[in-house]
């Protein structure tokens, strides 16, 4: 809890130290000043009324809502009548404090439609008590007539308290909303890290698995030299996988990501017949966008090697045209301000077979989730005509 919230709670509490202090002072002044006090006659009546008024004054420390509205109003009425009776009997006039506190408390606890008439009635009772022919006091009736003025103080305090409570409720609601946003951001970050780990491990392990299957097939056929080359490629994939893990950690720390060099490295580590084409003026992309493209490239390459091992792969990166040439390139290139990335693999060679048991089907799902976070889209599907008929195409478009 902040210091401001603590102060708000302190001032809006029904028994905060200010109210306690005021109550103690009023009771103490009454006990010391109100006279006569005795064991019989007027002194006994004054003593009984003083005790009653002191107890009623202490009810202002009871938290709001503990009394039903009717009971609260009845207590205030007894309080006002007792204060007027005490004023009519004692000689110091100090008992007017009880009338002032009664109307102030009424302004705080009652709505204005009842508090104002109550204050007027209390003023009339108190002024009438001081004008009574008995009692022997010398206090002016004006003191009693103005006892209802404190209702305005009570109404003002009530408005201030309600404003503080509303502000506190709004602050608590804002804090809960901020916590919810932070929790959602944490979950989104965890999902992003999970996708990064999936992309890196799926790409590396699928490549290693493919090379090991090739090695096993070559060993069965007796081609030791090519089997050794496949085993060396598997070792190379393991090393590149470790490099990718380090790169993932660096990317999570928002380090710069050399996009074109990274894509070339990915392609070289997974395909002997792969090409990368870069269209448009290259420029540095935000780390988050570059990371998304790299992860999509990893997933597309992994899928190509799982389902079309040995097929040639082409990657194409299209940067947005400059403002001056965007109109002329509108029909032939990506839209201005949009980065497009494409991975196309041709049909698998005759006799090749998909890798058995590779992957869990979460690659494209993770790719779409990642692109949703940056406002991008992905389309993936088979190629039905042209030189690459029978192959597969993945195209990613990201606002850049």
pLDDT at 143 over 50: yes
pLDDT at 283: 82
Candidate from 60-69, 100-109, 197-206, 309-318 with smallest mean pLDDT: 197-206
In whole angstroms, give the CA distance from residue 169 to residue 146.
Answer: 37
pLDDT at 3: 56
pLDDT at 1: 53
pLDDT at 359 over 60: no
CA dihedral for 228, 230, 233, 238, sign (positive or negative) = negative
Could you tell me the CA-to-CA distances from 160 to 3, 69, 121, 163 in Å, in that order? 18, 21, 25, 5
pLDDT at 232 over 80: yes
pLDDT at 310: 79
pLDDT at 330: 40
pLDDT at 30: 92
Instruction: Tell me: do 170 and 284 sit in the same domain.
Output: no
Q: Decide if 293 is inside a domain.
A: yes
Long-range contacts of 252-255 (CB under 8 A, 24+ apart): 252/193, 252/196, 254/287, 255/287
pLDDT at 296 over 60: yes
Q: Is the separation of the CB atoms in 103 and 117 below 8 Å?
A: no
Q: Is the separation of the CB atoms in 147 and 123 below 8 Å?
A: yes
In whole angstroms, give the CA distance from residue 209 to residue 358.
Answer: 8
Instruction: Tell me: do 165 and 19 sit in the same domain.
Output: yes
In whole angstroms, give the CA distance from residue 256 to residue 324.
Answer: 28
Instruction: Tell me: do 170 and 261 sit in the same domain.
Output: no
Instruction: Tell me: do 265 and 169 sit in the same domain.
Output: no
Instruction: Tell me: do 119 and 8 sit in the same domain.
Output: yes
The CATH number of the domain where 283 resides is what?
Answer: 3.30.565.10
pLDDT at 188 over 70: yes
Cα–chain center distance at 60: 39
Q: What is the pLDDT of the chain when averaged over all its residues?
A: 82
Q: Decide if 218 is inside a domain.
A: no
Q: Is the separation of the CB atoms in 53 and 61 below 8 Å?
A: no
In whole angstroms, give the CA distance from residue 215 to residue 223.
Answer: 9
Q: How confident is the model at residue 153 (pLDDT cuts 50, 70, 90)?
A: very high
More confident of the two residues 360 and 369: 369
Average pLDDT of the segment spanning 343-367? 71
Domain boundary among 174, 198, 226: 174
Q: Decide if 236 is inside a domain.
A: no
Q: Is the separation of the CB atoms in 257 and 287 below 8 Å?
A: yes
Q: Single out the residue of 235, 288, 234, 237 nearest to residue 266, CA to CA.
A: 237
pLDDT at 344 over 90: yes
Q: Decide if 78 is inside a domain.
A: yes
Candidate from 22-31, 216-225, 389-398 with smallest mean pLDDT: 216-225
Q: Decide if 233 is inside a domain.
A: no
pLDDT at 364: 79
Number of folded domains in the chain?
2
Instruction: Tell me: do 274 and 138 sit in the same domain.
Output: no
Domain boundary among 174, 209, 236: 174
- Range of 262's domain? 257-400
Q: Decide if 247 is inside a domain.
A: no
Instruction: Tell me: do 299 and 163 sit in the same domain.
Output: no
Instruction: Tell me: do 14 and 158 sit in the same domain.
Output: yes
Q: Decide if 88 is inside a domain.
A: yes
In whole angstroms, give the CA distance from residue 250 to residue 200.
Answer: 13
pTM above 0.85, yes or no: no
Domain boundary among 174, 192, 213: 174
Q: Decide if 153 is inside a domain.
A: yes
% of the chain exceeding 70 in pLDDT: 82
Per residue in 9-20, pLDDT tens?
Answer: 544 555 678 888
pLDDT at 346 over 60: yes
Average pLDDT of the segment spanning 263-280? 82
Q: How confident is the model at residue 326 (pLDDT cuts 50, 70, 90)?
A: very low
Pair of tokens at residue 213: 């299957």
Beta bridge partners of 394: 343, 380
Average pLDDT of the segment spanning 308-324? 79
pLDDT at 254 over 80: no
Instruction: Tell me: do 114 and 261 sit in the same domain.
Output: no
Q: How confident is the model at residue 136 (pLDDT cuts 50, 70, 90)?
A: low
The residue to which tokens 């000043």 are assigned: 33
pLDDT at 108: 93
Instruction: Tell me: do 166 and 308 sit in the same domain.
Output: no
In whole angstroms, give the CA distance from residue 392 to residue 381.
Answer: 6
Instruction: Tell me: do 17 and 164 sit in the same domain.
Output: yes
């Amino acid at each position: 809890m902040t210091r401001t919230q603590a102060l708000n709670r302190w001032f809006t509490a029904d028994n905060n130290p200010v109210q306690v202090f005021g109550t103690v002072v009023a009771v103490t002044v009454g006990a010391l000043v109100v006279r006569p006090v005795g064991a019989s006659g007027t002194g006994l009546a004054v003593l009984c009324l003083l005790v009653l008024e002191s107890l009623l004054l202490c009810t202002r420390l009871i938290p709001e809502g503990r009394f039903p509205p009717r009971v609260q109003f009845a207590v205030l009425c007894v309080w006002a009548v007792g204060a007027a009776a005490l004023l009519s009997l004692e000689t110091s006039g100090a008992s007017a404090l009880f009338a002032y506190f009664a109307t102030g408390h009424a302004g705080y606890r009652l709505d204005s439609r009842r508090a104002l008439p109550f204050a007027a009635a209390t003023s009339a009772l108190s002024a009438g008590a001081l004008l009574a022919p008995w009692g022997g006091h010398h206090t002016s009736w004006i003191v009693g007539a103005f006892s209802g003025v404190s209702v305005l103080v009570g109404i003002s305090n009530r408005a201030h308290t309600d404003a503080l409570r509303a502000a506190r409720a709004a602050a608590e609601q804002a804090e809960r909303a901020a916590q919810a946003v932070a929790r959602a951001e944490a979950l989104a970050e965890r999902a992003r890290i999970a996708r990064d780990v999936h992309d890196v491990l799926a790409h590396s392990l699928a490549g290693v698995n493919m090379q090991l299957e090739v090695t096993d097939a070559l060993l069965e056929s007796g081609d030791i030299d090519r089997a050794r080359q496949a085993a060396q490629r598997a070792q190379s994939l393991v090393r590149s996988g470790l490099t990718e893990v380090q790169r993932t950690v660096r990317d999570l720390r928002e380090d710069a990501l050399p996009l074109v060099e990274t894509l070339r490295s990915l392609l070289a580590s997974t395909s002997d017949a792969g090409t990368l084409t870069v269209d448009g003026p290259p420029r540095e992309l935000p780390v988050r966008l570059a990371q998304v493209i790299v992860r999509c490239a990893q997933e597309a390459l992994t899928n190509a090697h799982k389902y079309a091992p040995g097929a040639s792969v082409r990657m194409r990166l299209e940067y947005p045209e400059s403002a001056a040439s965007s109109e002329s390139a509108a029909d032939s290139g990506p839209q201005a301000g949009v980065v497009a990335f494409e991975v196309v693999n041709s049909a698998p060679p005759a006799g090749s077979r998909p890798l058995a048991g590779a992957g869990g089907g979460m690659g494209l799902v993770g790719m779409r989730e990642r692109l949703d976070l940056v406002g991008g889209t992905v389309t993936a599907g088979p190629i039905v005509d042209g030189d690459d008929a029978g192959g597969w195409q993945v195209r990613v478009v990201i606002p850049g």
